Amino acid sequence: MKIEPFAVEDWMSAHELSARWNIAETCVDSLTLEDVLELGGDPERILEGLRSLKLTYGAIPGGTRLRELIAARYAGVDPADVLVTNGAIGANFLAEYTLVEPGDRVVCVQPTYQQVYSVPASFGAEVLLLRLRPENGFLPDLDELRELAGDAARLIVVNNPNNPTGALMDRDLLEGVVNVARQCGAYVLADEVYRGLEHDPEVATPSIVDLYEKGVGSGSMSKVFSLAGLRLGWIAGPRDVVEDCEQHRHHTTISCGMIDEALATIALEAADALLERNLRIVRENAALLDDWVGGQEHLDYVQPRAGTTAFLHYDFDVPSERFARELLTHHETLVVPGSAFGWENWLRVSFACERRVLEAALERLGAYVDSLAQAGPGGG
C-alpha cells in the first residue's frame, strides 16, 4: 500500500529543532511537567502516586476518569462513546481505517491537515477535495459539497476550527454539512483538535458529535491543552463506531501509556484554569498578529477566528518553499510553506507561542518581506 509523503510533517521533522524562532509549531505554548503537577494542586502527592503506579497496559479503551473528563467536553457524550488514542493523528487514522473501504467516496475540505485525505486515498478510496476559498472566508460551500457527495459518499471530512486558516464553521454551517451527509447516508469525521480556542469570547464551537447521529469527532491534548508530548488524543462518536475503532486498534497500539493518561487526567481536572491561560495567550497573540499583518504591504490574510494558525498570502513571484527556506536560512525563523497544503504563495504561521518568540519572528519575517520587495516582483 502506497501513501503520499506527508508534506507538513516532513517539513517540520527536517527543520523544527534547528529554528531559533519557531512560528510553525501549532500548540499553545507547551507546559512543563512541573506546570502539570502544579495544576494538580499538590505536586508531591501526585509524584508519590506516580511512583507507585504499576506500569501495566491499564484500561485498554482509556482510564475511566480520563474518559469521563473527555466526555464532559461534549454536550451529550457518554464515557463509553470515547476511545483514548495515540494523539488525534491516531484517532483520525483509526476512524478512517474503520469507516472506509476501497472504492468508497470520501469528500474532504482542502486546505487541511493532509493526513485526513491521504490516508483514505491510500486505502483505495475515491477522494474528492472540496477547495476552500479565501473569498468565502475559507468556509465550505454547501452546494459544492452536495455536488461532490452526490448520493454515494461514505464519509465527509471537515476540520473545525481549520488548520491552516483558522476559519471557524458555526452551528448553522455545521448543520448544513449534516444535512448533506444525512441525504446520502455519509458519516462525518471532524478533526476538532482546536475546538475550544475561539478568539471571540462570545462564540463556542459545537462538536459534530453533538449535532449528528453519524458524527465522529477527534480531539487531542496537544493543541488546546499544551501537552503534545503526551501523545494522547481521542475519538468520540457513535458507540458502534468507537467499538469498531477499538477492535482495529488491537492490531496497532493496543492502548496508550498509563503515565501519559495520568498526566492528561490531571490537566483535564484543571481544564478551566488551563483554558483561561491558553485563551489569553491565543487571543492576545492573535491581536498582535492582526496588527502586524495590517501594516504589511505585501501580505494579507483571512483573519482567523479560532485556533492557533493563520494562512498568510504574499504577492511575490516566489515559490513558498523557497520563501520558507530563505527565511529560515537568513533569519532563523520557521514557518510552513503553503505548498505543504497544496497552496502556492501562502504560508502557515502559528501564533500561540511565547509572545517574545512571536514578536521576534514577525520582526524577522517582516525584514525578509522587505528584502523581497526591494529585489523587485520576482523577489530576486
The DSSP code sequence of 189-255 is EEE-TTTT-BSSTT--PPPGGGT-TTEEEEEESSSSSS-GGG--EEEES-HHHHHHHHHHHTTTT-S
- CA–CA gap between residue 261 and residue 255 (Å, rounded): 10
Label the pairing between strands 346-350 and 309-314: antiparallel
Instruction: Classify residue 313 by its DSSP letter.
Output: E
Residue with more model confidence, 242 or 18:
242
pLDDT at site 72: 98
pLDDT of residue 376: 72
Mean pLDDT of 67-87: 98
Instruction: Report the SS3 class of residue 129.
Output: strand
Flag whether the pTM goes above 0.75: yes
Domains of the chain with CATH codes: 7-32+273-368 (3.90.1150.10), 54-270 (3.40.640.10)
Cis bond leading into 140, ω under 30°?
Answer: no
- Per-residue pLDDT averaged across 210-223, rounded? 98
How far, rounded to the nearest angstrom, does the alpha carbon of residue 295 sit from its chain's CA centroid? 28
Mean pLDDT of 212-237: 98
Are 122 and 268 in contact by the 8 Å Cβ rule? The answer is: no
Integer Cα distance of 349 and 346 in angstroms: 10
- Per-residue pLDDT at 1: 79
Q: Has residue 289 got a pLDDT over 80?
A: yes
- Grid cell listed for 90: 491516531
DSSP-assigned letters across all residues of 147-162: HHHTTTEEEEEEESS-
Mean pLDDT on 340-365: 98
Reading phi first (left if > 0) and then psi (alpha if -120 to 50, else beta), residue 376 is in left
Cβ neighbors of 189 (< 8 A, separation 6 or more) are 92, 95, 96, 99, 116, 155, 156, 157, 158, 208, 216, 217, 218
DSSP letter for 306, please: B
Confidence tier at 377 by pLDDT (50, 70, 90): low
